[in-house]
Amino acid sequence: QVQLVESGGGLVQAGGSLRLSCAASGRTFSSYAMGWFRQAPGKEREFVAAIRWSGSTTQYADSVKGRFTISRDNAKNTVSLQMNNLKPEDTAVYYCNALYAATMSPSRYWGQGTQVTVSS
């Protein structure tokens, strides 16, 4: 079992920044790659960013490249998402997930989500 708890969401104006954090506990955190996903009202959950255990490999959705940065601290069992130059279309509930390392695909381990609202 892996337990994930997100924090750091909130309301911000367009062009602003937020930093999301995801604290992991349970099974060995370093066994998993980690990812961030988001779900806007009426839309399906979509991939945002991912990072491998070493932190040397990251992936981003085209919509956030150059604006968002994912990082992880294996000593603290945390993964973060720095979001800069936020746009109204970034408004969504953001979730972290413990990804299967071999395939970088989502596991059944999700956090409860944190709301990000970007006003225009």
User: What does the pLDDT read at residue 4?
Assistant: 94
Provide the pLDDT confidence category of residue 29 given band limits of 50, 70 and 90.
low
Q: What is the chain's mean pLDDT, rounded?
A: 94
Tell me what percent of the residues of the chain surpass a pLDDT of 90: 80
Provide the pLDDT confidence category of residue 65 given band limits of 50, 70 and 90.
very high
Mean pLDDT over residues 54-58, rounded? 87
User: What does the pLDDT read at residue 5?
Assistant: 95
Q: Give residues with Cβ within 8 angstroms of 97, minimum separation 6.
A: 4, 34, 35, 36, 37, 106, 107, 109, 110, 111
What are 93-106's pLDDT values in tens digits? Answer: 999 999 998 888 99
11-40 burial by CB neighbour count: b if 16+ within 10 A, else e? ebeeeeebebbbbbeeeebeebbbbbbbee
User: What does the pLDDT read at residue 31?
Assistant: 77
Q: How far apart are the first and last CA of the chain?
A: 40
Provide the pLDDT confidence category of residue 28 given band limits of 50, 70 and 90.
low
Mean pLDDT over residues 18-41, rounded? 89
